[in-house]
Amino acid sequence: MASVRIGIIGLGTIGKAHWKVIRESAQTTLIAVADPTPSALDFARAESIPAYADYREMLENETLDGVVVAVPNAEHVPVALACIERGIAVLVEKPVADRVETAQAMCKEAEGRDVPVLVGHHRRHNTAVQRVRQAIRDGLIGRPVTATVMYNQLKPASYFDLDWRRQVGGGPVLINLIHEIDLIRFMFGEIHSLQALSSNAVRGFAVEDTAAVLLRSQSGAIGTISVSDTAVSPFSWDLASGEFDLMLGTSDRMKRQKVSTHVFAGTEGSVTLPTLDYYNYRDVAEPGWRSDLNAEVLTVESTDTYLRQIEHFARVIRREEAPLVSGLDGTRTLQATLAVTEAAATGQTIILSE
Ligand SMILES: NC(=O)c1ccc[n+]([C@@H]2O[C@H](COP(=O)([O-])OP(=O)(O)OC[C@H]3O[C@@H](n4cnc5c(N)ncnc54)[C@H](O)[C@@H]3O)[C@@H](O)[C@H]2O)c1
């Protein structure tokens, strides 16, 4: 099986995570990178990888099968379109775009040219996430009733040195909560409607630092999500799942927190992430609070989520698989996430789909 030729545009935090797995996998070869910052160019050149300050030059000069687009949110669509117009498949980081209209225009262009688009909702490639989805589909929790999701952690002050992270659109709703929205869609299906509150009271930036969401899925299940980048807590996917270490490429940097951040509960049982605890009533006369709950742990092989994602991208490029998160799928997640901002600003319930 031939290795696919990949370029990276945007060699910042997540661009470097892609760099690591592209170089690790036998299915992908890193051909070149593009980023205007001298430190990124030096980083690549130190490893003898061709580096361009202007991504258009990279696209002109290199032969690429696929490009990872890992630039700030507002640049996703123009950069991805430049690739699509040249027939190059894209793995575009989440959010797929900063506006639904531009995301839809990009998807239309990609469809017209038959160029695959994969959106970087990497968690869908996580084996624990896939195990829970399968458990729900197999009926282990019965009819889904609630999703309870926490993403509360402290981002260090230096994280906000980059100006775009202090501006509207650069905060935890579009950066972090979007993953939770996508995960709930992945587990329970499309979202019917939502309500939200947000606050910038602690950091005082233009962008929010905290938000809470109440949502209803089309199936009738109800979900709650709290998200904050200013609360000291282990209850966040980044700290509990181990994926953050994969992203930084430094497994000894942070102690992984053994806590549950997600509970999916139904009429027959409940299951947690990333801990994979499973609770139900088994062989009891009358299921209910006076009976013993059976507790067990679902098992799954844990692997590098970003590696699984890039290898899926290689198969998408070879047309062996359809994108697990297509451009339109990523657009629906974006739409629901932007609805959170609208709901918080207006105090209204936003109806997404009947
Ligand atoms: N899936 C994930 O786990 C994950 C994690 C973090 C960030 N992200 C997403 O990735 C994107 C980047 O986030 P980040 O935290 O890596 O940001 P970052 O600021 O660390 O990196 C962005 C990089 O893009 C470069 N850049 C900006 N404009 C460019 C252009 N026109 N051409 C080439 N390079 C350009 C910058 O110089 C910088 O190096 C965001 O959309 C974010 O939402 C995804």
Q: Is the CB of 54 under 6 A from ligand 1?
A: no
Among 103-107, 236-240, 301-305, 341-345, name the one with the lowest average pLDDT: 301-305
Q: How far is the centre of ligand 1, averaged over its atoms, from the C-alpha of 12 (Å)? A: 5
- Which pLDDT belongs to residue 99? 93
Q: Is the CB of 124 under 6 A from ligand 1?
A: no
- Alpha-carbon span 293 to 295, nearest angstrom: 6
- Alpha-carbon span 226 to 138, nearest angstrom: 28
Q: Is the CB of 15 under 6 A from ligand 1?
A: yes
- Which pLDDT belongs to residue 244? 74
* Phi, psi torsion values for 215, nearest 5 degrees: -135, 160
Q: What residues contact 51, with CB distance under 8 A and at least 6 apart?
A: 11, 32, 33, 34, 35, 40, 41, 44, 45
Q: Is the CB of 35 under 6 A from ligand 1?
A: yes
Q: Is the CB of 171 under 6 A from ligand 1?
A: no
Q: 338 pLDDT band (50/70/90 cuts)? A: very high
Q: Vertex 247, ends 300 and 305: CA angle to 5°?
A: 30
Q: What residues contact 303, with CB distance under 8 A and at least 6 apart?
A: 127
* Domains of the chain with bracketed CATH: 4-115 (3.40.50.720), 124-302+335-351 (3.30.360.10)
Arithmetic mean of pLDDT, 281-290: 95
- Alpha-carbon span 41 to 53, nearest angstrom: 7
In this predicted model, what pLDDT tens digit does every residue of 149-173 receive, in sequence order? Answer: 999 999 999 999 989 889 888 899 9
Q: What residues contact 108, with CB distance under 8 A and at least 6 apart?
A: none
Q: Which amino acid is at 258?
A: K
Q: Which amino acid is at 72?
A: P
Question: What are the CA-CA distances from residue 245 to residues 14, 17, 251, 257, 351 (Å)?
Answer: 12, 10, 5, 12, 37
| Minimal-distance CA residue to ligand 1 atom 15 | 13
- Per cent of the chain over pLDDT 90 is 89
**292 DSSP 8-state letter:** P
Please identify, by atom number, the ligand 1 atom nearest to the C-alpha of residue 175. Answer: 43
Q: How far is the centre of ligand 1, averaged over its atoms, from the C-alpha of 17 (Å)? A: 11
Statement: residue 110 has pLDDT above 70: yes
HSE toward the beta carbon, residue 241, CA cutoff 13 A: 26
- Alpha-carbon span 221 to 146, nearest angstrom: 5
Q: Give the residue, out of 16, 20, 21, 35, with the most ligand 1 atoms within 8 A of its beta carbon, to mutate for a pocket test.
A: 35
- Alpha-carbon span 298 to 275, nearest angstrom: 9
Q: Is the CB of 94 under 6 A from ligand 1?
A: yes
Which strand (E) or helix (H) includes residue 314?
A: helix 305-317
Arithmetic mean of pLDDT, 286-290: 95
| Minimal-distance CA residue to ligand 1 atom 39 | 12
- Which pLDDT belongs to residue 253? 60
| Strands annotated E in the chain | 4-9, 28-34, 51-52, 66-69, 89-92, 117-119, 144-152, 191-199, 210-217, 222-228, 262-266, 270-273, 277-280, 294-297, 350-351
